[in-house]
Structure 1
Amino acid sequence: MTDATSVRSVPRRLNMSSLPGSLIVGIVLLAPLVVAAVAGSWLAPYPYDEMNILSRLQPPGPDFWFGTDEFGRDVFSRTLVGTGSSLLMGVAATALSLLAGVPLGLVAGYKGGRVGETIMRAMDVLMSFPPILLGILVLAVTPPAQWKAIAAIGIVYVPQVVRLTRAITLELMQEEFITAARLRGESATYILFKEILPNIWPPLAVEASLRVVFAILLGASLSFIGMGAQPPSSDWGLMISEARPFVEQAPWIALCPGFALAIAVIGINLLGDGLRALLDPRNTGAH
Structure 2
Amino acid sequence: MREGRWINGVVLGALAALLLGTLWTPYDPYEQAFFDLRISGSSGAHWLGVDRLGQDYLSRIWRGAGNSILFAFLGSAAALLVSALLLGLERLGGAAVGKSVRGLVSFGIAMPAIFVGLLVVTFMERGAAALTIAIGVAGVPFGFRQLRVLWSELNATAYVEASRAVGGSVWHRFWFTIWPNLWPQLLGLWKLVFAFALLELSALTFLGLAGDPNWAELGTLLREGQKLLLNSPAFVIWPGVALCSVLGMVQLLR
Calculate the TM-score normalised by the size of structure 1.
0.77
Q: Deviations over 1:196-222 (max 9, x none)?
A: 455422211110011111111110110
1:122 aligns with 2:104: yes
Give, in whole Å, the separation in 1 of the partners of 2:86 and 2:181. Answer: 16
2:2 to 7, 16, 23: 16
Partner of 1:246: 228
Answering whether residue 242 of structure 2 is matched by residue 256 of structure 1, we say no
SS in 2 for 1:61: coil
Aligned 8 A contact 1:219 1:228 in 2: no
Mapped pair 1:49 → 2:35? no
Instruction: Note the C-alpha offset of 1:185.
Output: 8.6
Post-superposition CA distance 1:119-143 (Å, at most 9, x none): 1111010111111111101111123
Unaligned runs of 5+ in 2: none
**CA 260–267 in structure 1, closer or farther in 2 if over 3 Å, else same:** same
Matches within 5 A, 1:51-200: 51=32, 52-109=34-91, 113-175=95-157, 177-178=160-161, 180-181=163-164, 184=167, 186=169, 190=171, 194=175, 196-197=178-179, 199-200=181-182
Task: Give secondary structure in 2 for the equivalent of 1:243.
Answer: helix
Segments of structure 1 that go 5 or more residues without pairing to the other structure are: 1-14, 276-287
Classify 1:97/1:191 alpha carbon distance in 2 versus 1 (closer, same or farther; 3 Å): farther
Aligned residue in 2 for 1:269: 251
The percentage of counterpart residues that share the same residue type is 26
Residue 236 of structure 1 corresponds to: 218
Give the count of matched residue pairs: 251
Q: Judging changes above 3 Å, is the alpha-carbon distance between structure 1 residues 178 and 110 closer, same or farther for their aligned structure 2 residues?
A: farther
- Tell me if the contact between 1:40 and 1:84 (Cα under 8 Å) persists in the aligned partners: yes
Change (3 A) 1:50 1:121: same
Q: 1:244 to 1:120 in 2, by over 3 A?
A: same
Instruction: Report the RMSD for the aligned CA atoms in angstroms.
Output: 2.7
**Larger-Rg structure:** 1
Equivalent residues of 1:243, 1:253 under 8 A apart: yes
Cα distance in 2 for partners of 1:167, 1:32 equals 32
Q: Is the 8 A contact 1:76 1:256 kept in 2?
A: no
* TM-superposed deviation, 1:82: 1.7
Shift of 1:111: 6.3
CA deviations 1:93-120 (Å, max 9, x no partner) are: 0110111101222443566733322211
Distance in 1 separating the partners of 2:97 and 2:247: 37
Q: How far did residue 68 of structure 1 move?
A: 1.0
Distance 1:150 1:255, change over 3 A: same
